Amino acid sequence: MSRVRISSPAQKKHPKGCFFVSSHTPLAGSSQLPDSQKLFLLFSLTNESHETKLRTLFLSWLSSQNSKGNWPEDIMCAVAIEPNEQQKSSEFAKLFEESTKTTELKEGEVVKGKVVAITRDSVVVDVGFKSEGRISIDEFLGAHGKIKAEVGSDVEVLIEEFEDEDGLLALSKEKADALKTWDRLEEVAEKNQEIEGTIISKVKGGLSVDIGIRAFLPGSQIDLRPIRNLDKFIGETCAFKIIKLNKRRGNVVLSRKAVLEKERESLRKETLATIQEGQVFDGIVKNVTDYGVFVDLGGIDGLLHITDMSWGRINHPSEMYKLGDDIRVVVLKFDAEGEKVSLGLKQLSEDPWGDVEGRFPVGSKVSGKVVSLADYGAFISLADGVEGLIHISEMSWSKKIKHPSKILNAGEEVEAIVLDIDKETRRISLGLKQIMANPWDELENNFSLGTKLKATVRNITDFGLFVDVGADIDGLVHISDLTWVQNFATPAEKFNKGDEFEVIVLQIDPENERFSLGLKQLQDDAWDIINKKYKLGTEAAGKIVAKNELGAIVELEKGVQGLVPADKLSADANVGDELQLRVSKTEPNERSFQLEPQA
């Protein structure tokens, strides 16, 4: 028979080997006990921390025995029981004994538990303790925030404290993982081996990597080149080198760059051993500059110059490629000693200049888009890789164009005539004005030599006057055809824009584009009078009609004027003064008739 000791429900500390039972509910048990206290005899407890669990097991067992009724907390009392041999071998005793085997836990120990619940911010784990432990959900997050835990799954955790400041069982999955992982990490670091891990999140300065524990991958160690978008690496499983390991601080720093450098060196040796001119490679754009693109061929870089990127015109390599783009190129030149590789892209496609003479024969009309304007003309795209130039002189028959932008705009579609093709230098000369009727042909048909025309001065130059005679082309009155005797240095001293007078057609030369007019030819030739009346040394009276930088212009009679050089003229001489003069020079070929005052 077991000995039973009952204590009050209000008693705070229950003696070792006691358990709560109801004194009001009929129980299956020993027949020797009074009916008012029929108790089921339990074996003696060895640890009062088992008390809660034992109560739960006991009540569960009672239910399985078809017992009915409730066991209110306020009528439970502690019963100290010393079981006999028969009781020790009972079904419930065996059940409780089994349960107590899992409760021998120690702080700092790694144990296996079972996930019993997952909340928004924690994972609840049962490790066989009187209460369950809660672990931050962060310790179960994988790549892209995915929770790596399921209700019912087993998980190894570290017991940090049986009761933390909140009275809860404190567990850690990360620390349990770390304890298992550190020995392996130290071995990997010591042997300079690689370790595989999964990038799970972005953190300040780099990325967080799961290698059994969380390790740090600095931004500078992610790739061979600087990386701006770190998010694209999240979820990737990669090989890493351990570059820093501090177990005491729980600090692990990784490098993916070191692994890539090792792989690149291996690829470089392999590539150098097989590379040859004419070989085609699939590479990756490593850098883009103003003058071309650097391509990673597999451990060795090659330069694709901008001139070898396209048969057509490109202003900058970035118009075709950006960093990280895949590209297929051909080796144009390889310097084994300097390990320099020149690459080509356009060489992988047919040269559009191969049949350019057949596609754009001289004299044919072509159409294209204005792709560029220069001071000397406009470049026209005729086809991919084929451009022609409309020189500024071929833009208009009559207008003097200062810049091509006065006629054409970039992006504009135009028609032109092929004037010439130089296949060797890859040049096509185009004409815009040839699309229109040639006004020189019309000029020759409309105006014959000797025709008198009314003219208006439009422009004045040192060599003559450009005048409008009502045609599409201005005519030129050369300085030598303005007057029979030239008593001025430039036409601007005698004529002004807008002056109107009559001229005569002297010459029309369509081939050289010359339209020559004369003014003096409509006047009597003064030299006929000069040669008769005013020979060298002849004395005569004259009147000053004008002054310029050369001197004074003196009229001897109507239609006859001469020049008194400035160095021969009195400083106080003015227009209108009468002078006594002597002929000092007569040169018909030079149109020079000079006079000097008499002493």
- Each residue of 480-513: pLDDT tens digit? 888 887 778 889 988 999 999 999 998 888 888 8
> To 10 degrees, what angle do helices 51-64 and 91-100 make?
150
Residue of 332, 280, 279, 325 whose CA lies nearest to 304: 332
pLDDT grade for 1, boundaries at 50, 70 and 90: very low
Q: What does the block give as tokens for 447?
A: 């105006």
Domain 110-175: give its CATH code: 2.40.50.140
- pLDDT in the model for residue 224: 82
- pLDDT in the model for residue 165: 75
pLDDT grade for 13, boundaries at 50, 70 and 90: very low
Q: Report the relative pairing of strands 280-288 and 251-255 from DSSP bridges.
A: unpaired
Query: Rounded to the nearest 5 degrees, what angle is found at the Cα of 167, between the Cα atoms of 161 and 168?
Result: 60
Domain 275-348: give its CATH code: 2.40.50.140
Decide if pLDDT at 475 tops 70: yes
CA distance 334 to 400: 51
What is the location of CATH 2.40.50.140 in the chain? 110-175, 275-348, 356-435, 439-522, 527-597
Decide if pLDDT at 57 tops 60: no
- pLDDT in the model for residue 84: 58
Domain 356-435: give its CATH code: 2.40.50.140
Decide if pLDDT at 75 tops 50: no
- pLDDT in the model for residue 12: 37
- pLDDT in the model for residue 293: 94
State the average pLDDT over residues 313-326.
89
Express each pLDDT in 346-369 by its tens digit. Answer: 989 888 888 888 899 999 999 999
Least trusted range by pLDDT, from 68-77, 96-105, 258-267? 68-77
CA distance 81 to 61: 17
CA distance 149 to 138: 11
pLDDT grade for 18, boundaries at 50, 70 and 90: very low
Express each pLDDT in 410-441 by its tens digit. Answer: 999 999 999 999 988 889 999 999 898 888 88
- pLDDT in the model for residue 87: 56
Report CA-CA distances (Å) from 49 to 18, 79, 129, 309: 11, 15, 10, 80
State the average pLDDT over residues 189-207.
91
Percentage of the chain modeled with pLDDT above 90: 30
**Would you put residue 491 in left (φ > 0), alpha (ψ -120 to 50) or beta?**
alpha
Express each pLDDT in 259-284 by its tens digit. Answer: 988 888 888 888 888 888 889 989 89
Decide if pLDDT at 551 tops 80: yes
Residue 520: phi, psi to the nearest 5?
-65, -25
> What residues are paired with 547 via a beta bridge?
552
Task: Name the CATH topology of 527-597.
Answer: OB fold (Dihydrolipoamide Acetyltransferase, E2P) (2.40.50)
Which is more confidently placed, 23 or 493?
A: 493
State the average pLDDT over residues 326-342.
89
CA distance 186 to 247: 9
Decide if pLDDT at 396 tops 70: yes
Report CA-CA distances (Å) from 427 to 224, 260, 386, 394, 435: 43, 47, 9, 15, 20
Task: Name the CATH topology of 439-522.
Answer: OB fold (Dihydrolipoamide Acetyltransferase, E2P) (2.40.50)
- pLDDT in the model for residue 76: 41
Least trusted range by pLDDT, from 7-11, 160-164, 330-334, 564-568? 7-11
Express each pLDDT in 450-474 by its tens digit. Answer: 888 999 999 999 999 999 988 888 8
